Amino acid sequence: MVQQKHPIYRPVTRREMLGMCKAGFGSLALLSLFGSIPGCSLFDQSQSDLVKKLSGSNPLPNFVPKAKNIIFLYMDGGVSQVDSFDPKPRLEKENGEDPGKKFKVDATQFGNVGKILKSPWSFKKYGESGMDVSELFPHIATCTDDMVMIRSMVSNFPEHTSANYFLHTGSGLQGRPSMGAWVNYGLGSENNNLPGYVVLDGGLIPPGGLDNFKNGFLPATYQASILRAGAEPVANIRPADSTQGIQDEKLAFLKKMDNHLLSSLGGADEIESAISNYELAYKMQSSIPELTQFGTETEATKNLYGLNSPDLHTRSYGSQCLLARRLIERGVRFIELTCPSVGNGADRWDQHSNLKSGHENNAHAVDQPIAGLIKDLKMRGLLDETLVVFTGEFGRTPFAQGLDGRDHNPSAFSMWMAGAGIKRGTIFGKTDEYGYRVIENPVTIHDLHATMLYLLGIDHKQLTFHFGGRDFRLTDVHGNVIKEILS
Amino acid sequence: MQLRSAINYKILATLILLALPVVFFLSCQQNYSPALPDTVDFNYDIRPILVQKCYLCHGPDSSSRKGNLRLDTYEGATALSKEGTKAISPGHADKSTMIFRINHKDPEIMMPTPESNLQLTKRERALIEKWIDQGAEWKQHWSFIPPTISDEAVLQEKENEGIDHFINKKLEQNGLKASPEAGKTSLIRRVSYLLTGLPPTPEAVDEFMADKSPGGYEQMVDRYLGSPHFGERWARHWMDMVRYAETKGHEFDYTISGAWRYRDYLIRAFNDDLPYDQLIREQLAGDLLNNQRINQASGENESRVATVFYTMGEGTHSPVDVRQDEADRIDNIIDVTGKAFQGLTISCARCHDHKFDPISTKDYYSMFGIIEGTRFSPVPANTAHQSGTIQLLGSEKDSMRAIIAAKWINGLAKKAERVSVIPPTLPTEKTNETTVLGDFRENGLGEWKSDGMAFSNKTTLGDPVFDRQNKIVSLEDGKASSRIIGTGIFGALRSPDFIIDKNFIGLRALGKDASVRIVIDNFQLIQYPIYGGMDQHVDSAGWKNYQFDVSPWKGQKAYIEILPGYFESHVFKMPTGAYVEVKYAIAFNDKWTEPPYQFYGQPTDLQTALDNWIHFKSSSREISAINTLIRKQSLPADMHELVSLLKQKEKQAATLKDSIEFISAVTDGYAKNSPVFIRGSYKQLSDKPVERAFLSALRPANAIYNEKGSGRLQLAQSIANPANPLTARVMVNRIWHHLFGKGIVETVDNFGMQGKLPTNPELLDYLAIKFQRDGFSIKKTIRAILLSNVFKRSVQPGDEARKTDPNNLYLSHFPIKRLEAEAIRDAILSASGKLDTTMYGPPVPTHITSFMNGRGKPENSGPLDGYGRRSIYLEVRRNFLDPMMTTFDRPIPFTSFGKRNVTNVPSQSLILLNDPFVVTEAETMAKKLVAAKNLSFENRVQWIYKRTVSRTASMEEIGAAKELIQHLATIYKLKGGNMDGDIHLWKDYIHSVFNLKEFIYLN
């Protein structure tokens, strides 16, 4: 069980919050980009509504949280389930036959339905659990005893953008709050010194764009902070001034003048908060870049994550995974990693053709870093309080698109979770003999969201935001916690 | 209240009698703060309690209603239950089970139930009791009652005095004292920013400061009201309401053609003070208005541009479920229409009756039909062709036929020849295999709609064809043609809606650069994958069969669209010379069969045939018979007397050219009554469709829309109707919100029961009534507010206000306001001198930073400084929103945002501290400053202050400037020398001023 601090779970007056901000500068070493402290981060009705809500009879968390943080490994484009975690020997037998004669083929996105296509990779059973993993993921395969495998995922959309919005926001439409924003809104950042919701941009922003990570109608405070590798991990974080001394002078001037304005007005909350803001922004300029420097990490750790791999993309994704660990160590609630761009015509996992080379390139980039992340978290005791989620927006067809690709398949796909609160080493759900449709325990995206929130201690039905005349939630009017996979 | 089965009702009845007096007695002993009003008002005191605490189970939504009790109507609340009790017994709290239940301590009996987590306070319970004892008067929701004014005399007072009358009344009632008037520099800055979004120029400030005349302030206000920049600010307010964007978002972020023209339309409309009711009618039904407003300068049809309102939504390409996609698209339009014009959340009734407001799913689907019957269409951006010319061409055509016919009759009269029309070849068999969707081989276009001028309203049947010697060669066969007048004129020919019930649709067509599209469920973004085959290019001078495989969409509705031109990346193009002609359209399963001719005219004489011909009533058979005579040279062919007429016609036709740029607007389809989607799913429909109509709560019961078209015009009229209790209130409240930062009704987009109550209802009604009497003049309303005392107050609250009205609900002082994203950026450009005040036109491409990635990313980034153009002219790409705008709270464009968030986050400070745009503009300004000769240090600081915070700097401020610059000079190691001359130092100083709170706050 995780001991949590919940600075905003009790009612706090606006004055009090401002007080906290002013008094707390020293300790607020790294402030949230988008401010997670009410009163420092400003607000209006909407946020005070939350505070009101939280101060009511039903404060968050609703349950004892099992996980403190979530690392969401988004496999952009859709990993093929029958080539990764859901072996289907029948495909081997019927390779090259007409799928239309075997089962009813749904309309596909590209309509170019080919023959039944066996997996180019062989499967083996791993760990005590004996979970099946294909050759694509030799490293992840060594972590099966820490994972629950769900082979019965379904989505509502067979097309990337809507499916992405659906996976990220619980709605196929643009402009709704992302799951990370909901978590950030519900729980805030765990240590208040960092954003509650961070997206590590590995190079590929999924179809649908940054709206996958936005706050929608929630206050902007809750949107993702996008971090990239490099000298400027966050927009405008590098001081514009040639030396720190110059900025210091300017800030001293600002403080003097602004305080003068403040006293001439006889005090004004808005302006007071805006002044505080500068001090926090100032600190971030050094603390955020520090976060992305791995100087303190050992060679062994770096090797574990594949930072010394000859594959550029493995190194790149490894850095993201290591950064994710550093962020959760600092208490960031929700971290999403986007995929690296592996090039060679293999755009994401979306192999409408050249399945073999495309999936291999993508797998090679992420396999070692992800396994490294799970092992590193475990060694540090962090896996017990962190939920690692691996999923695409949908799966792929068991028959070919054209000759050597696979089309989108929302009717069945595999995903897995590792770490906190789950029944490790188990498999849940079942697809038909072709891996085309779910035949047992279908899990919807809403169910996934409900379960993720549950593990964080949130009842998905209670996490609501009043907008445009009604209470919205991440799961709309759907979603069931998948109790069977919980420890 | 839910009466639970566990309770024995007889016991319950006894309990009521025993327990109530005790409870009642106890509650009367309480002192409440604030004290209970003498007369409890249903709308202001009671309904908010019912809405918040009771309606989830006892509201309008029948699906979630418990215990068969509804408390949203008087009838429901006072109905006699099976047990013979009443929830509310007017005049008798002691006989009302509601009072019994809300005061009870037993968790099995108490209301609201413990598990609802809703609790009534003691004061709330006492209010309900007192209200029932006073007779439980029920009123309609306040915003549904037409605005009234108790003191008509106030309306006669000078425009601003009425406002202060009601404001002061509230101040008095609440024991508040008004703060004194703000200083003149505050006032001019306030007025300038709020009216134009720009700081006042130093000259304007000087002039205003020097003007000591009593009318000085008023004149200053009028100057800003008359400024062309006024529209640039107020249009942007409205753009927040209509999810303004220039691209469709989703995966590839396709362009919305002509979005910027709609933006320009708004700017002009606000500048010209277009009456608000007109603004409503044009946006909702501009294409259907009798008097279309043409912009004389540009030739744009303003009324049609206004309808781009409908196409501002998100656009999904290749949705597998296109029916759902349509439902979502229509929902977005209903949502925005409801919020923007009525302050109502109508789309809440998509899946179930509204939980709080009297809006049923029937209401929702009666509006759904209106939008479903509306079609999207490219419309020429510039429709300068004169309809007069078109009519002239028509009459010339008439007279030409008359002249020819007369000549023919004369030529034949002696012979008295009968024309024997060839007997029809009857179709060998009638098959169910082929359905004729359109047949243009005869005279008319049938039920098809011809939009624009290209196709006119007839086919080509019988049009004379001349050779170069002006001899008639033949009369034309029948076909729908987009070049009846000539090429270069836009038009679209569209079929009525039909249900796809066959595998294929076929059209026999020819043309150049043209296209034929099958529009399924109004879906427009036709492309690969999935829908690619539904858009075929017609590019052949000879007749060809165009075949569409629609088998995957059997059972879905569709229409056929024929266009001279084509879509390229969803932008409509009409190259010079584009045309299209079509003989017929059919649906079939396996084999294409040419449909039989439908006219089997009787044999007739030439006189009759020509008579028909003159009146455009010929059948194809008659024309073919006449053609036989022409071929046999039985008819005089030489028509030299027509030479001048033909030349004139040619000349006139040549002047009729549509622009080659198009906007993405709407046109009317066919009347469409939609069934109710049960629980919001189109897969489960109600048996009967609902008639199109306005919200049932706001119309007479029988006011059904019966237009042959969509019904949009009637919808627009219902909203713009002066009797509509919401329209004027919602708009004056928006105006108030934009001026004071908070509406009289704080929830500007929600005037329903879940919205906030007005803080000053009399003022709101006064403004609404005045707004209507002033001809819906937005500028007059703004002017009246700006001239009032309440607007001119200083931002400093008095002691009383600090204590008792910390949220400044009653406006004893002016609220401090942070400038909006656009105003901050524009202020920086204005200060630096970079501001380019050019108005209108295509947007400046978005500056793409290294953080902005994803599909549909523009190939080239726009300039960092946006060419110095005002922020309203910066491109709004849904998938690549400008980070500075978004960070300073410009809303994400997916629904109406009448009220922006005002956040205060470190990324805002980081932009002002480190963003290259801000730093560059500081440098630009520094260069200008240093280039201005003969300015002393002090005057330089003054120069900067006037351009940034619009006032003079104090000695202390000049001292602070000197100190900063000296410190910086030390760091730059520029001791000695001419420190005034160094651009670096002044750049740093100016950059610091850009970071002052005073720079981005209005006080």
- Return all residues near B341 (Cβ < 8 A) that are at least 6 apart: B280, B284, B719, B727, B730
Give the per-residue SS3 of chain A. Answer: CCCCCCCCCCCCCHHHHHHHHHHCCCCCCCCCCCCCCCCCCCCCHHHHHHHHHHHCCCCCCCCCCCCCEEEEEECCCCCCHHHCCCCCHHHHHCCCCCHHHCCCCCCCCCCCEEEECCCCCCEEEECCCCEEEECCCCCHHHHHHHEEEEEEECCCCCCHHHHHHHHHHCCCCCCCCCHHHHHHHHHCCCCCCCCCEEEECCECCCCCHHHHHCCCCCCHHHCCEEECCCCCCCCCCCCCCCCHHHHHHHHHHHHHHHHHHHHHCCCCHHHHHHHHHHHHHHHHHHHHHHHCCCCCCCHHHHHHCCCCCCCHHHHHHHHHHHHHHHHHHCCCCEEEECCECCCCCCCCCCCCCCHHHHHHHHHHHHHHHHHHHHHHHHHCCCHHHEEEEEECCCEEEEEEECCCEEEEECCCEEEEEEECCECCCEEECEECCCCCCEEECCECHHHHHHHHHHHCCCCCCCCEEEECCEEEECCCCCCCCCHHHEC
Cα A175 to Cα B250: distance, rounded to the nearest angstrom: 10
Closest in B816, B854, B905 to A210, CB measured: B854
Asked if A240 lies within 8 A of B916 by C-beta distance, the reply is: yes
Strand A464-467 with A470-473, pairing = antiparallel
- Return all residues near B975 (Cβ < 8 A) that are at least 6 apart: B969
Closest in A209, A211, A220 to B889, CB measured: A220
Asked whether the bond before B202 is cis by omega within 30 degrees of 0, the reply is no
User: What is the pLDDT of chain B when averaged over all its residues?
Assistant: 89
State whether residue B255 is helix, strand or coil. strand
Give pLDDT, residue B150: 79
Mean pLDDT of the region B942-960: 97
pLDDT in tens, B612-658: 899 998 888 889 888 988 888 888 888 888 888 888 888 887 777 77
Give pLDDT, residue B979: 56
Query: In chain A, which residue's Cα lies nearest the Cα of B551?
Result: A107
Chain B residues whose beta carbon lies within 8 Å of the beta carbon of residue A173: 314, 328, 894
Chain A residues whose beta carbon lies within 8 Å of the beta carbon of residue B908: 277
Strand A413-419 with A147-153, pairing = antiparallel
Give pLDDT, residue B974: 61
Give pLDDT, residue B415: 56
Residue type, position B365, single letter: Y
**How far is CA A230 from its chain centroid?**
21
Residue type, position B106, single letter: D
Provide the Cα torsion B726, B728, B733, B736; round to 10°: 180
Asked if A42 lies within 8 A of B886 by C-beta distance, the reply is: no
Asked if B749 lies within 8 A of A107 by C-beta distance, the reply is: no
Asked if B314 lies within 8 A of A175 by C-beta distance, the reply is: yes
Model confidence at A344: pLDDT above 70: no
Asked if B988 lies within 8 A of A468 by C-beta distance, the reply is: no
Model confidence at B29: pLDDT above 50: no
> Is residue A25, in this structure, part of any structural domain at all?
no
State whether residue B721 is helix, strand or coil. coil
In 3D, which of B150, B254, B624, B249 has the Cα closest to residue B420? B624
Q: Are residues B445 and B324 in the same domain?
A: no
Beta strands of B124-192 (E only): which ranges? Answer: none
**CATH number of the domain bearing residue B593:** 2.60.120.430
Query: In chain B, which residue's Cα lies nearest the Cα of A254?
Result: B996
Q: Are residues B302 and B401 in the same domain?
A: no
Give pLDDT, residue A48: 34
Closest in B895, B904, B911 to A468, CB measured: B895
Q: Quote the percentage of chain B above a pLDDT of 90.
A: 64
Q: Are residues B456 and B489 in the same domain?
A: yes
Looking at the DSSP bridge assignments, the partners of residue B465 are B474
Q: What is the ipTM of this complex?
A: 0.87
pLDDT in tens, B660-682: 789 999 999 999 999 999 989 99
Asked if A278 lies within 8 A of B851 by C-beta distance, the reply is: no
Q: Are residues B41 and B111 in the same domain?
A: yes
Query: In chain A, which residue's Cα lies nearest the Cα of B993?
Result: A254
Written as six digits, the tokens of A451 are: 């379960």
The whole domain housing A401 covers 69-230+299-485
Closest in A34, A226, A250 to B988, CB measured: A250
Q: Number of folded domains in chain B?
A: 5
In 3D, which of A342, A292, A294, A337 has the Cα closest to residue A314? A342
Query: In chain B, which residue's Cα lies nearest the Cα of A263?
Result: B796
> Is residue B496, in this structure, part of any structural domain at all?
yes
**How far is CA B267 from its chain centroid?**
14
pLDDT in tens, B819-868: 999 999 999 999 999 999 999 999 999 999 988 888 888 999 999 999 99
Chain B residues whose beta carbon lies within 8 Å of the beta carbon of residue A254: 992, 995-996
- Return all residues near A11 (Cβ < 8 A) that are at least 6 apart: A51, A52, A54, A55
Q: Are residues B651 and B681 in the same domain?
A: no
Q: Are residues B190 and B63 in the same domain?
A: no
> How many C-beta atoms surround the C-beta of residue A136 within 10 A?
22
Written as six digits, the tokens of B479 are: 């076909």
Q: Are residues B612 and B497 in the same domain?
A: yes
Asked if A209 lies within 8 A of B904 by C-beta distance, the reply is: no
State whether residue B514 is helix, strand or coil. strand
Cα B466 to Cα B250: distance, rounded to the nearest angstrom: 52
Query: In chain A, which residue's Cα lies nearest the Cα of B902?
Result: A43
The whole domain housing B343 covers 275-381+665-720
Model confidence at A14: pLDDT above 70: no
Mean pLDDT of the region B731-754: 94
Cα B781 to Cα B766: distance, rounded to the nearest angstrom: 11
> Is residue B906, in this structure, part of any structural domain at all?
no
Q: Testing the interface with B: which of A232, A257, A411 to mutate, by most B Cβ within 10 A?
A: A257
Å from B777 to nearest chain A CA? 28
Q: Are residues B458 and B558 in the same domain?
A: yes
pLDDT in tens, A443-485: 999 999 999 999 999 999 999 988 777 788 999 989 999 999 9
Q: Which DSSP category does B91 fall into?
A: T
State whether residue B572 is helix, strand or coil. strand
Cα A446 to Cα A438: distance, rounded to the nearest angstrom: 16
Place of tokens 């400053």: B929
Q: Number of folded domains in chain A?
A: 1
Q: Are residues B463 and B558 in the same domain?
A: yes
Q: Are residues B38 and B97 in the same domain?
A: yes
- Return all residues near A105 (Cβ < 8 A) that are at least 6 apart: A99, A113, A399
Cα A22 to Cα A279: distance, rounded to the nearest angstrom: 10
User: What is the pLDDT of chain A when averaged over all its residues?
Assistant: 84
Q: Which DSSP category does B156 fall into?
A: H
> Is residue A223, in this structure, part of any structural domain at all?
yes
Chain A residues whose beta carbon lies within 8 Å of the beta carbon of residue B968: 246, 249
Highest mean pLDDT pick, A106-115, B112-121, B449-458, B956-965: B956-965
Cα B526 to Cα B977: distance, rounded to the nearest angstrom: 68
pLDDT in tens, B311-347: 999 998 888 889 999 999 999 999 999 999 999 999 8
Query: In chain A, which residue's Cα lies nearest the Cα of B854?
Result: A205
Confidence band for B414, pLDDT divided at 50, 70 and 90: low
Q: Are residues B645 and B519 in the same domain?
A: yes
Run of H or E including B658: none
Q: Are residues B473 and B600 in the same domain?
A: yes
Asked if A254 lies within 8 A of B117 by C-beta distance, the reply is: no
Closest in B318, B896, B906 to A281, CB measured: B906
Å from B203 to nearest chain A CA? 24
Give pLDDT, residue A53: 41
Cα A451 to Cα A248: distance, rounded to the nearest angstrom: 47
Cα B139 to Cα B923: distance, rounded to the nearest angstrom: 62
Give pLDDT, residue B116: 80
Chain A residues whose beta carbon lies within 8 Å of the beta carbon of residue B918: 240
Asked if A209 lies within 8 A of B997 by C-beta distance, the reply is: no
The tally of CA atoms less than 13 A away on the side-chain side of residue A184 is: 35
Cα A177 to Cα B885: distance, rounded to the nearest angstrom: 19
Higher pLDDT, B152 or A259: A259
Cα B562 to Cα B915: distance, rounded to the nearest angstrom: 50
Closest in B855, B889, B919 to A240, CB measured: B919
> Is residue B992, in this structure, part of any structural domain at all?
yes
**CATH number of the domain bearing residue A329:** 3.40.720.10
Confidence band for A188, pLDDT divided at 50, 70 and 90: confident
Written as six digits, the tokens of A170 are: 């619980």
pLDDT in tens, B888-941: 989 989 889 999 988 777 889 999 999 999 999 999 999 999 998 789 999 999
Give pLDDT, residue A107: 78
